[in-house]
Amino acid sequence: MRQHRAALLVMATALTPALLFTTPAFATGTTATTASAATSAATTAASVVTPDTPVDDMSEEDLRVAIARILADEDSGRRVLREANAALDGTAEDMRTFLKTGYRLAQAEDDAVAIGRILADKNSGKAVVREANKALDAGTPEALRAFLETGYRLAQAEDDRVAVFRVLADKNSGKAVVREATRALDAGTPEALRAFLETGYRLAQAEDDRVAVARILADPKISAALRAAAEEVIDGTPEQLRYFLEVGRYEVDG
């Protein structure tokens, strides 16, 4: 049985997706911890059996290949894997039942777990928490999947937009930060907002910090020790620049 199943997995991986499955349009390149978790959860159903799939007309071999393709999906959750393996170990009717109803229900359980993880993430914002709870309260497989495939991305964008506005409202934000934050808001896409918060903000802050260090160096009245420290850090990392401005320069002069 294991050798037969391994052969099926190889076959399923090699087959084109035309037989049973479609790929959802949602895909995100976010890299934040929460966003990454949601992306993984959303792609768990990268291959789904559609309502129009003629499961009843499929041969036993076709049923096995279809389930093997689900097993070959690295994003399939624990419940899906457990139920898929159980179906393969059963009869042809067991496999049909799994593809017609069991897969949807097992996917819903995995989706509920994924949403629970999002809610447990202390970095999840108000909009994300609100929409995640709505999906769980609805309780249907469709509501859970819709949140992971589209709702999470849109709720995250709402939270990100609030975060970018807070950056702009901070009187300590420098010119580069304000410029890049404004660009992200003008672009208006969830991806642009997330990219600013994940990487753009850090780089823009470093640009402003480097200017601040250059201004320190332009002051002829600074001590030799402070000048040496500023010269050493001006070409450093964003983190080194920030630490110098917040702490290091005062330690030198202290």
What are 136-183's pLDDT values in tens digits? 999 999 999 999 999 999 999 999 999 999 999 999 999 999 999 999
Q: Among residues 176, 196, 174, which one has the least CA distance to residue 184?
A: 196
Q: What's the pTM value of the predicted model, to 2 decimals? A: 0.71
Q: Determine the Cα–Cα distance for residues 60 and 65; give it in Å rounded to an integer.
A: 9
Q: Determine the Cα–Cα distance for residues 5 and 239; give it in Å rounded to an integer.
A: 51
Residue 168 host element (H or E): helix 152-169
**Hey, how many other C-beta atoms are within 10 angstroms of the C-beta on 127?**
19
pLDDT at 146: 96
Q: Please give the DSSP secondary-structure letter assigned to residue 28.
A: -
Residue with tokens 């420098």: 174
Q: Determine the Cα–Cα distance for residues 226 and 190; give it in Å rounded to an integer.
A: 42
Give DSSP secondary structure letters for 188-224: --HHHHHHIIIIIHHHHHHHHHHHHHHHHHT-TTS-H
Max Cα–Cα distance, the chain, nearest Å: 86
What are 178-205's pLDDT values in tens digits? 999 999 999 999 999 999 999 999 999 9
Give 113 or 54, the one with higher predicted confidence.
113
Looking at the predicted structure, is the pLDDT value of residue 56 above 80?
yes
**Hey, how many other C-beta atoms are within 10 angstroms of the C-beta on 134?**
13
SS3 3: helix
Q: Determine the Cα–Cα distance for residues 199 and 194; give it in Å rounded to an integer.
A: 8
